[in-house]
């Protein structure tokens, strides 16, 4: 199965000059979605994963399904004001703006093995912010997974020192 063929390009979204990689066309294909989750699972099924941290919002889709298959916990990493308990936050830059992410202060116990997952690696700012949050909570990052990586934006450089994998590269 060629996963690239299931990704739709949407020009000028969310703003002019950006070509958005729309994954909804892949998600609606049950066998393709299952294949993606199983590809992620195969990389970690023989490792101790305590929790999967999914980045809002599309990282929740992959992270929840993967945590279920790995029989581990799931951590939602969210935009400000969305989590109901005590949080810590980290600011980051996007290719088209800035934002902040939050995580519950009790989401990670010291020394737990955490797998971070999101749909897209672009400039790396979002994933770098999550790495910083997990490290502040004294978690051990065992991998950072993406469905898609935009190689020309060099986001991987912000994640040096951590295992980074992408299923589709552009």
What's the total number of domains in the chain?
1
Q: Is residue 18 part of a domain?
A: no
Q: Is residue 131 part of a domain?
A: yes
Active site residues: 58, 95
45-84 confidence digits (pLDDT tens): 999 999 999 999 999 999 999 999 999 999 999 999 999 9
Mean pLDDT of the chain: 96
- What is the rounded CA–CA span in Å between residue 93 and residue 153? 13
- CATH number of the domain bearing residue 133: 3.40.50.2020
- What is the rounded CA–CA span in Å between residue 43 and residue 94? 28
- What is the rounded CA–CA span in Å between residue 98 and residue 92? 6
Q: Is residue 156 part of a domain?
A: yes
Q: Is residue 32 part of a domain?
A: no
Q: The whole model's pTM is what?
A: 0.95
H/E element, 107 = none
Apex 11 CA angle, 93 and 20, nearest 5:
40
Burial, 69: exposed, middle or buried (Cβ in 10 Å; 0-12, 13-18, 19+)? middle
């Amino acid at each position: 199965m060629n996963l690239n063929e299931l990704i739709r390009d949407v020009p000028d979204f969310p703003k002019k000059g950006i070509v958005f990689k729309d994954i909804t066309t892949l998600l609606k294909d049950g066998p393709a979605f299952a294949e993606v989750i199983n590809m992620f699972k195969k990389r970690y099924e023989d490792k101790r994963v305590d929790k999967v941290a999914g980045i809002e919002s599309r990282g929740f889709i992959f992270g929840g399904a993967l945590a279920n298959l790995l029989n581990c916990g799931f951590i939602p990493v969210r935009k400000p004001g969305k989590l109901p308990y005590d949080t810590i936050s980290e600011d980051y830059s996007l290719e088209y703006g800035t934002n902040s992410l939050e995580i519950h202060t009790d989401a990670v116990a010291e020394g737990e093995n955490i797998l971070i997952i999101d749909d897209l690696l672009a400039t790396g700012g979002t994933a770098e912010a999550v790495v910083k949050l997990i490290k502040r909570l004294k978690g051990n990052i065992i991998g950072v997974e993406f469905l898609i990586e935009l190689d020309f934006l060099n986001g991987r450089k912000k994640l040096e020192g951590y295992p980074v994998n992408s299923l589709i590269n552009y």
